[in-house]
Amino acid sequence: MSTANITDGAGGPPPLTYPAGLPDRVAPVGDALASGIRTLVAVLLGTGALLVIGLFTDAKQFYHSYLFGYVFALDIALGALFWTLIHHVADAGWSVGLRRVFENINRAIIPLTALFVPVLVGTFTGNLHAWYEFVHTVPQKGHGEHLWHVKHLYFNTPFFATRIVIYFAVWIGYSVVMRNWSTKQDAVGGVALTRKMQWWAPSGVALLGLTTTFFAFDVLMSLQYSWFSTIFGVYFWAGGIRGSLATVVLVVLGLRAAGFLRNTITMEHLHDVAKIMFGFTVFWTYIAFAQYFLIWYGNVPEETQFYLLRRNGAWNTMSILLPILYFVVPFFMLLPRAHKRSPVWLALISSWILVMHAYDLYWQVMPVLHQDTIHFHWLDAAAPVFMFSVVLLSAIWGFTRLPLIPIRDARLNETIGYENETP
């Protein structure tokens, strides 16, 4: 009979009782990751200072780089929220141990909400989205540009601001509510809260799908406001879902390297995450090609403008390399079973996918600013590093204060004893 009573340091939540017989210590990590946190804070402050310098030296470049870094991180946080919800929708047993990792990564949505303000400033000062400039230069009743006349019902300041508020309200709402129920279950146990989360998760998936799609339309696609692509939201989502899986793998590997969860989240679980990562590698390609293929075949000017812009100078090379580096390379890296079960390979593949995710988003955002060819700016490196540090810090913050797995989930036994089928 060994049930340890460990009181949460914050004082607010009720004292937790840890179930006996767990194969690992799952209490909050406390100060065990302090050096890592200090490094991350230093990186955050350093790149943050660089961003401030960038704002005052080259505003237009700053806003574009910032947007690129911002969507890179937000994509990952939203992907983690999606995984939390889909875990409940699928009534999954194997991923119970991973759920706290998802929940801790989507914690980043709250700081990222505050960090969205510079993007809004960029839009409303005319530094980012072309439609904003257009709204204020073309007379409202004129037919100077017919396309804008049709689209101004969608692209105008009040409606844009309203939509942004709705998106963040949905994201924060679902991430906070799901996390609160999950942590409440750590104390009270039982299946009532699991049922409750399962009841709310499907609506969350639907709303998350819609808001993410329209967020992608509003913030990325509208950089070229005259461009049409109905699949763009899915493209954005496919990138984010891959990026978030890569982040999940890296966070889990980091925790395991620090000595946590070694027998709770085993290579069996990581193998499955890698299988999903492989699946979404193919999915991203499917979506990316579907978008390109239909636009190429249709050959309609307002659709082809996106790809025409990316056929100039070094952008063309980057466009050709994108499917090779972001599909072919990870596909063959993830194909052998042994790679999906090796921590070293998994770390390599996940880092590769994250870097290529940034590459993909850079390719989506930057040609709008530098239309002739690539002009790599140091801000383009500082912004994603800054934003990714925000995500990692938010996740680690959760691990220092909450149990590392949902300790009272009814299906904990299923996840801990989980084994893959041997082929």
Tell whether residue 114 is a contact of another protein (CB under 8 A). Answer: no
Contacting range for another protein; rule: CB under 8 A; set: 36-44, 119-127, 362-370, 414-422: 414-422
Q: Can you tell me which of 30, 60, 136, 289 binds another protein, judged by CB under 8 A? A: 289
Considering only residues 14-43, where is the footprint of another protein by CB under 8 A?
Answer: 19-23
Q: Can you tell me which of 159, 199, 293, 378 binds another protein, judged by CB under 8 A? A: 293
**Per-residue contact flags (x/-) with another protein for residues 84 to 113, judged by CB under 8 A:** ------------------------------
Closer to another protein by CB, 217 or 327: give it: 327
**Per-residue contact flags (x/-) with another protein for residues 323 to 342, judged by CB under 8 A:** --------------x-----
Calculated CA dihedral for residues 79, 81, 87, 93, nearest 10 degrees: 100
Tell whether residue 287 is a contact of another protein (CB under 8 A). Answer: no
Tell whether residue 422 is a contact of another protein (CB under 8 A). Answer: yes
A 10 A CB-CB count for 231 gives 16
Closer to another protein by CB, 184 or 337: give it: 337
Distance between CA atoms of residues 415 and 423, nearest Å:
20
Calculated CA dihedral for residues 311, 315, 317, 319, nearest 10 degrees: -70
Distance between CA atoms of residues 420 and 423, nearest Å:
9
Tell whether residue 413 is a contact of another protein (CB under 8 A). Answer: yes
In the complex, least distance from residue 334 CB atom to another protein, rounded to whole angstroms? 13
Mutual angle of helices 59-89 and 379-401, in 10-degree steps: 40
Residues contacting another protein: total by CB under 8 A? 22
In the complex, least distance from residue 268 CB atom to another protein, rounded to whole angstroms? 11
Distance between CA atoms of residues 291 and 43, nearest Å:
37
Distance between CA atoms of residues 374 and 362, nearest Å:
10
Task: Decide if 227 contacts 302 (C-beta within 8 A).
Answer: yes
Distance between CA atoms of residues 247 and 347, nearest Å:
10
Contacting range for another protein; rule: CB under 8 A; set: 126-134, 150-158, 290-298, 305-313: 290-298
Q: Can you tell me which of 1, 10, 114, 324 binds another protein, judged by CB under 8 A? A: 1
Tell whether residue 421 is a contact of another protein (CB under 8 A). Answer: yes
Closer to another protein by CB, 224 or 266: give it: 266
Mutual angle of helices 192-215 and 232-257, in 10-degree steps: 130
Considering only residues 372-411, where is the footprint of another protein by CB under 8 A?
Answer: none
Task: Decide if 319 contacts 363 (C-beta within 8 A).
Answer: yes
Contacting range for another protein; rule: CB under 8 A; set: 104-112, 122-130, 266-274, 295-303: 295-303
Considering only residues 231-250, where is the footprint of another protein by CB under 8 A?
Answer: none
In the complex, least distance from residue 410 CB atom to another protein, rounded to whole angstroms? 12
Closer to another protein by CB, 140 or 422: give it: 422
Binding site for another protein (CB under 8 A): 1-2, 19-23, 289, 292-293, 296-297, 299, 337, 412-413, 416-417, 419, 421-423
